[in-house]
């Protein structure tokens, strides 16, 4: 078990390094190196761009929700593919037909959505 945790020690190390490097670059090293002469024009969200209008937190179109739901469904499918792929060597053809049936069911679902024209934007 300790061997297992030792492996994850490196994961934690990389995680800490991954947090440390951008923080050090943006908040510590950056301000020391770069000149700082802010003007009103420089502080706009899009420099030399179009002035933003209104609030960024607008209410989205409800039809985006369909895509979120479909994303969850296919995310779960991906999850099942993972142990299947890992153990495929020891399972053989039976597992292949099993997974093909599983994917076929979801493809039918996708085809249904396609036929019903909910994936299209008018």
Partner 1 sequence: MNFVWNGPMIAFYVLALSVLGAGILMLSVRKVVYMALSIGGVFIGAAGIYILLGAEFVAVAQILIYVGAITILMMFAIMLTNHKAEEEPFRWTVRNATAAVGSVLLALVLLAVIRSTTWPVQSANLNLNGGNSNPVAIGLVMFKQYAFPFELVSLVLIVGLVGAVILAQERKEEE
Residues interacting with partner 1, by CB under 8 A? 1, 4-5, 8-9, 12, 57, 59-66, 68-73, 75-80, 82-88, 90-91, 94-95, 98-99, 101-102, 105-106, 108-110, 112-113, 116, 118
Count of C-beta atoms within a 10 Å radius of residue 33:
8
Please give the structure tokens belonging to residue 76: 């779960």
Distances from the Cα of 62 to the Cα of 7, 66, 69, 91, angstroms:
44, 8, 12, 43
- Give the residue with the Cβ less far from partner 1, 53 or 101: 101
Nearer to partner 1, 1 or 32 (CB): 1
């Amino acid at each position: 078990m300790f061997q297992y945790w030792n492996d994850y020690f490196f994961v934690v190390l990389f995680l800490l390094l991954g947090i440390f490097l951008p923080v050090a670059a943006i908040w510590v090293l950056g301000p020391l190196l770069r000149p700082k002469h802010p003007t009103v024009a420089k502080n706009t969200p899009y420099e030399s761009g179009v002035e933003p209008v209104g609030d960024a937190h607008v209410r989205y179109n409800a039809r985006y929700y369909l895509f979120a739901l479909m994303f969850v469904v296919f995310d779960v499918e991906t999850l099942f593919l993972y142990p299947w792929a890992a153990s495929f060597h020891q399972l053989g053809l039976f597992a292949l037909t099993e997974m093909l049936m599983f994917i076929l069911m979801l493809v039918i679902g996708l085809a249904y959505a396609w036929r019903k024209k909910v994936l299209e934007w008018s």
